[in-house]
């Protein structure tokens, strides 16, 4: 790919069209870490206000590390995938205990934190520390695959690494994310306004109406949330938080769940995952000692 031509076009587009997002106003690594964990499975529009509220309640990694788990789950309520809250709490404790309260800048050290995968590690390294790491979320992956005409994920990381301009890692990854979120849409890419169009391998196929070219690179559709196991778990976590130290019994949880879910099985699964503990037939949020 002709990155020396592509980079200036993308960075110029970003200066004009980049989204204004609250977490782009900071380079504080803890704040960036919280944002990136939230953004993993929740849309940016839903994260915006919640991120600010979260930081107001837990303003530092130390504050998060010593917070009761029930407060954290309460604050996380509605964001979904509560396991992320559990892992973020564990990460805060490790950062305080092993890294002196400073979120590491090295992607390898970041990946060693509880629940921090390749995406969050790269995002913190790039967005907080300007390290030239490729940040491959689902949108950026789609953009790069279309641009380079790559139908398989293999080789994409090397391509993405070669693309990052060493002196503009933050702006580059932010720009690709914005192109993915606003221009190179999964099913209706807006090639006519895309800064990558002069170099894009998929563009010709899309213009010719080859449906497979869109489908092949579109993100998979999410399974419905209503009535799902995920919804049942989310409702159970909310019930546990509201119940407080007295805990929740399966009989009390049952009316809160969608049809077809076994309250005891849901609570036991949450206990196995570390959300709660079983005590005399009741379940209470598991606080870390
Ligand atoms: S030209 Fe079209 S397919 Fe290619 S990256 Fe841009 S929006 Fe996506």
Dist CA 101 CA 124 (whole Å):
15
Residue that is last in its domain, among 181, 197, 221: 221
At residue 155, the pLDDT reads 81
Q: Is 176 in the pocket of ligand 1 (CB under 6 A)?
A: no
**46 alpha carbon – ligand 1 mean position (Å):** 26
d(CA 86, CA 79): 13
Question: Which pLDDT score is estimated for 195?
Answer: 97
pLDDT score recorded for residue 93: 96
CATH of the domain at 143: 1.10.1670.10
282-285/276-279 β-pairing: antiparallel
**What whole-number distance in Å separates Cα of residue 12 and Cα of residue 176?**
12
Same domain membership, residue 102 and residue 53: yes
> For ligand 1, is residue 184 a contact (CB within 6 Å)?
yes
Overall number of domains in the chain: 3
- Do 212 and 148 sit in the same domain of this protein? yes
Residue 58's domain is classified under what CATH number?
1.10.340.30
pLDDT at 249 over 80: yes
pLDDT at 277: 92
Instruction: Kindly state whether residues 279 and 262 are assigned to the same domain.
Output: yes
Host domain of residue 64: 28-129
Percent of the chain with pLDDT over 90: 67
Mean per-residue pLDDT over the chain, rounded: 90
Residue in the block written with tokens 């693309």: 163
From the CB of residue 13, how many other CB atoms can be counted at a distance below 10 Å?
18
Q: pLDDT value at position 80? A: 83
Q: Within this chain, do residues 117 and 163 fall inside the same structural domain, yes or no?
A: no
Across 13-26, average pLDDT: 95
**229 Cα distance to chain centroid:** 20
Do 254 and 113 lie in one domain? The reply is no
What does the pLDDT read at residue 211? 54
**28-40 tens-digit pLDDT:** 999 999 999 999 8
Same domain membership, residue 155 and residue 65: no
On whether the pTM is more than 0.75, the answer is yes
Given 129, 144, 164, the domain boundary residue is: 129
Would you give the distance in Å from CA 158 to the centre of its chain?
Answer: 22
Q: What is the CATH number of the domain that holds 235?
A: 1.10.10
Top mutation candidate among 9, 14, 139, 147 for ligand 1, by most atoms within 8 Å of CB: 147
pLDDT tens by residue, 150-193: 766 678 888 999 999 999 999 999 999 999 999 999 888 899 99
């Amino acid at each position: 790919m002709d990155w020396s031509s592509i980079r200036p076009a993308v960075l110029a587009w970003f200066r004009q069209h980049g989204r204004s997002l609250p977490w782009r106003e900071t380079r504080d690594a803890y704040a960036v870490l919280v944002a990136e964990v939230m953004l993993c499975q929740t849309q940016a529009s839903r994260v915006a206000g919640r991120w600010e509220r979260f930081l107001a309640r837990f303003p530092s990694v130390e504050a998060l590390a010593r917070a009761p788990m029930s407060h954290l789950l309460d604050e996380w309520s509605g964001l979904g995938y509560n396991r992320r809250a559990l892992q973020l709490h564990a990460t805060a404790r490790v950062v305080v205990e092993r890294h002196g309260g400073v979120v590491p800048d090295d992607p390898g050290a970041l990946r060693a934190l509880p629940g921090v995968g390749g995406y969050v590690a790269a995002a913190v390294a790039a967005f907080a520390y300007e390290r030239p790491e490729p940040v491959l979320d689902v949108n950026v992956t789609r953009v790069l695959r279309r641009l380079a005409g790559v139908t398989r994920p293999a080789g994409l990381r090397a391509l993405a690494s070669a693309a990052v301009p060493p002196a503009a890692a933050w702006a580059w990854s932010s720009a690709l994310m914005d192109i993915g979120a606003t221009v190179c849409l999964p099913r209706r890419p807006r090639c006519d306004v895309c800064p990558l169009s002069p170099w894009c391998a998929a563009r010709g196929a899309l213009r010719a109406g080859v449906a497979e070219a869109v489908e092949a690179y579109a993100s998979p559709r999410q399974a419905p949330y209503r009535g799902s196991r995920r919804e049942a778990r989310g409702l159970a976590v909310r019930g546990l938080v509201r119940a407080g130290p007295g805990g929740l019994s399966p009989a009390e949880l049952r009316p809160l769940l969608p049809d077809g879910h076994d309250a005891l099985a849901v609570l036991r699964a949450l206990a196995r995952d570390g959300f709660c503990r079983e005590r005399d037939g009741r379940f209470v949020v598991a606080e870390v000692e």
